[in-house]
Amino acid sequence: MDRFSDGFLFGASSSAFQIEGSLDRDGRGPSVWDAFIARPGRERLRSDAATACDHYARWADDVAIAGELGLDAYRFSVSWPRIQPDGRGEPNRAGLDFYSRLVDGLLERDVRPFPTLFHWDLPLALQRDSGGFRDRDTAARFEDYAGIVARALGDRVKDWITINEPFEYACFGHLFGTHAPGVKSPLAYLQVVHHQLLAHGRAVSAIRSEAAGARVGIALSWTPVHPLRDTEADEKAAARANAFMNGVSFDPILLGRYPALVTRGLLRPPVRDGDFETISTPLDFVGLNYYSREKARNAPLVPFIRADVTGKEPRELPESDDRTAMGWEVYHRGLVEILAELRGRYGNPPVIVTEFGSAWSDSVETDAATGRARVGDTRRVRYLRDALAAMRSAIEAGSDLRGAFVWSLTDNFEWAEGNAKRFGLVHVDYGTQARTVKDSGRWYAGLIASRVLDASSRVLETGSEDT
């Protein structure tokens, strides 16, 4: 029977900039994302992010929903510019108080808080003054900030995540320039990867020394890259893309070195003596964010990572059972592959899936029987169930998988896509801020209560689901 143990954590995730809004309330300083969406032509993003889910004002409603769904845990991020508006110096009391109330609210409802300390909203002052994570000193700034938050919340928060997806922040923000801070430089990409990893390692010690008994991890993305065609050239391209997208963070954290392919080029991460020791400080768990896979082809004239990853044609295909609204292929085997690799190459560390989920074009309808608002998101239910079945099979195969967090609790501001892409278990009407628990949210609540994948999917048959 597909039963998850009672200790397995079923959670949901979010991040500060994607849900909070209230960007100028209570002394918050601007972040790199505020500046990025202030550029001409980004009016829609700017108005989307200004309010987002209005979570800064409505946090108690969201905590109540987390409680009603029966979540074991909730992962949110702390906004660095609310705590240190300039990224350094004395903490802003009002910022700390906000997260302190949030933590208390979660604990009152028996939902374990999992704060992430950096989910991409770097204080703008650090970017302006020294190039943000391009500068080694930003790792020291992050260590200070981590210590401040751990001191304030560590009496109640036991589980900590340092940084969310150092690869994506470095790559989208500093190589492709499609995310904040909008830099396009291969060297910047390598600097930002390395200094975030260093920041992570330093923060692990800061958190542990401020918060007794803290369990600390990091959330790393892993997108398996497969060769597009069965040729040696495409296989090489895939190996290279895997090294620069996945190995680039998993290897330093878990093996204490970069993959050889990453350190072979003219441009290299700015490693100094002793860095790997800090970066590979043993963790209590590794957070894994998984969405999809990519395919790589040999493309010698296009430089660096994207170079080799096609990505293009598939993204143009319309939404279907096999492709989400983001254009991402539905590929649950990826989870099985990654977890096998973590058992083999990386020594089977404790893992928590800190993000998995999918965006679909949901719509709110009126349920004929009850007259109530209803979101019949059949595809999301199927997606979550199949992903969890993949996780179950990895557990059977010996993976030390301890929990899974759906991205996301509510629909939210999906970065460069704005509010248009919906990932939530809970629908948000951005005009009225009304929250409607989707069928997937109700299904997930059933699963959490029963811990059994099969029985919980039977909940569907009482709803509109056709599976």
**What is the distance between the alpha carbons of residues 319 and 326, in angstroms, rounded to a whole number?**
8
Instruction: Collapse the DSSP code of 119 into the 3-class scheme (helix H, G, I; strand E, B; otherwise coil) and give the result.
Output: coil
Rounded (10°) angle between helices 378-396 and 453-462: 170
Binding mask 23-62 for ligand FCB (x = CB under 6 A): ----------------------------------------
Exactly one of 2, 168, 234, 362 binds ligand FCB (CB under 6 A); which one? Answer: 168
Exactly one of 8, 15, 78, 240 binds ligand FCB (CB under 6 A); which one? Answer: 15
Nearest to 288 by CA among 348, 239, 228: 348
Q: Which of 171, 296 has the CB closer to ligand FCB? A: 171
Q: How far is the CB of 195 from ligand FCB (least distance, A)?
A: 19
Return the residues of window 319-378 that contact ligand FCB according to CB under 6 A.
355
Beta bridge partners of 221: 289
| Segment near ligand FCB (CB under 6 A); pick from 32-40, 163-171, 176-184, 203-211 | 163-171
| Segment near ligand FCB (CB under 6 A); pick from 164-172, 228-236, 330-338, 451-459 | 164-172
Catalytic residue among 165, 294, 414, 465: 165
Q: Which of 354, 378 has the CB closer to ligand FCB? A: 354
| Segment near ligand FCB (CB under 6 A); pick from 143-151, 162-170, 276-284, 343-351 | 162-170
Q: Which of 404, 459 has the CB closer to ligand FCB? A: 404
Say whether 108 is catalytic: no
Nearest to 193 by CA among 220, 216, 217: 220
**What is the distance between the alpha carbons of residues 422 and 402, in angstroms, rounded to a whole number?**
26
Q: Which two tokens stand for residue 272?
A: 């100094």
Exactly one of 72, 165, 308, 439 binds ligand FCB (CB under 6 A); which one? Answer: 165
Beta bridge partners of 432: none
Beta bridge partners of 160: 216
**What is the distance between the alpha carbons of residues 331 and 99, in angstroms, rounded to a whole number?**
36
| Segment near ligand FCB (CB under 6 A); pick from 151-159, 161-169, 189-197, 316-324 | 161-169
**What is the distance between the alpha carbons of residues 70 and 4, in angstroms, rounded to a whole number?**
15
Q: How far is the CB of 330 from ligand FCB (least distance, A)?
A: 14
Q: Which of 45, 453 has the CB closer to ligand FCB? A: 45
Angle value at C-alpha 423, between 20 and 390, nearest 5 degrees: 130
Nearest to 215 by CA among 31, 402, 416: 402
Q: Residue type for 123, please?
A: P
Binding mask 246-285 for ligand FCB (x = CB under 6 A): ----------------------------------------
Q: Which of 62, 168 has the CB closer to ligand FCB? A: 168
Contact between 423 and ligand FCB per CB under 6 A = yes
Return the residues of window 197-256 that contact ligand FCB according to CB under 6 A.
221
Q: How far is the CB of 423 from ligand FCB (least distance, A)?
A: 6
Exactly one of 59, 98, 133, 415 binds ligand FCB (CB under 6 A); which one? Answer: 415
**What is the distance between the alpha carbons of residues 14 and 75, in angstroms, rounded to a whole number?**
6
Contact between 20 and ligand FCB per CB under 6 A = no
Q: How far is the CB of 301 from ligand FCB (least distance, A)?
A: 28
Give the length of the chain: 467
Exposure class string for 117-137: b at 16+ Cβ within 10 A, else e: bbbbbbbbbbbebebbbbbbe
Beta bridge partners of 305: none
Cβ-in-10-Å burial (0-12, 13-18, 19+) of 17 comes to buried
Are the CB atoms for 387 and 330 separated by under 8 Å?
no
**What is the distance between the alpha carbons of residues 320 and 417, in angstroms, rounded to a whole number?**
19
**What is the distance between the alpha carbons of residues 157 and 214, in angstroms, rounded to a whole number?**
8
Contact between 164 and ligand FCB per CB under 6 A = yes
Q: How far is the CB of 289 from ligand FCB (least distance, A)?
A: 6
Q: Which of 246, 457 has the CB closer to ligand FCB? A: 246
Q: Which of 119, 134 has the CB closer to ligand FCB? A: 119
Q: How far is the CB of 412 from ligand FCB (least distance, A)?
A: 8
42-47, long-range: CB within 8 Å, 24+ apart, which pairs? Answer: 44/418, 45/416, 45/418
**What is the distance between the alpha carbons of residues 428 and 21, in angstroms, rounded to a whole number?**
14
Say whether 417 is catalytic: no
Exactly one of 414, 436, 444, 446 binds ligand FCB (CB under 6 A); which one? Answer: 414
The residue whose two tokens read 């998850």 is: 4
Q: How far is the CB of 406 from ligand FCB (least distance, A)?
A: 11
Q: Which of 37, 148 has the CB closer to ligand FCB? A: 37
Catalytic residue among 20, 143, 168, 355: 355
Rounded (10°) angle between helices 453-462 and 439-450: 140
- Per CB under 6 A, residues contacting ligand FCB are 15, 18, 164-165, 168, 221, 289, 355, 407, 414-415, 423
Catalytically active residues, by annotation:
165, 355
